[in-house]
Amino acid sequence: MKEQKCYRKHRKWLLTRLQTSALMIRTLASSHSVSQNIPSSLWKLGRLNHVAIAVPDLEKAQSLYKDVLGAQVSEMVALPEHGVYTVFVELGNTKLELLHPLGEKSPITSFLQKNKTGGMHHICIEVDDINAAMAELKKKKIRILSEEPKIGAHGKPVIFLHPKDCHGVLVELEQA
């Protein structure tokens, strides 16, 4: 019963954060400075690809979504270039990405040190042109956490936007 209450509370918090983040991303994508003269049609946001959740126990998290909630859950995949193990949970209209640290320099390790029970790590939104998105976002002073796109868990180029520039949310953009 306590776990259900905690789950409902976390789900409500997560939905609120997602709605706020989606609004911020839409605003970011549609706004442009007249002085920069950048047409907003250079790139477009697509669908929400996934919500990533950092978990301290990957097997336990997999079991929750597969055995308790009945979702389709992928096998674990190691992504050493990102310092994570990933598991995807299919939800029909989007996915959850369960993240667990891989290696000592994993960004998930420091996240879990601050959030012992895990939690939402980032959201991933598809874009139709990641290079145009990078160029425009840099001109708008949105910090990107890498100089070039990296290949993400789906085998496509991805970038991450600094959470301080995105209202506290780490945003991943993925080439559609």
CA-to-CA distance for 94 and 11, rounded, in angstroms? 15
Q: Strand 171-175 vs strand 119-127: parallel, antiparallel, or unpaired?
A: parallel
Residue 33: strand, helix, or coil: coil
The whole-number pLDDT of residue 38 equals 47
Phi, psi of 145 (to 5 degrees): -80, 5
Residues in the chain, overall count: 176
CA angle 78, 143, 45 (to 5 degrees): 75
Selection from 158, 168, 129 nearest residue 50 by Cα? 158
Rg (CA), the chain: 17
Q: Could you say which DSSP state residue 21 is in?
A: H
Which residue type does 77 have? V
Tell me what pLDDT residue 104 has: 84
Block mean pLDDT (10 aa), the chain, length 176: 56 54 53 47 90 98 97 96 96 96 93 96 97 96 96 95 97 97
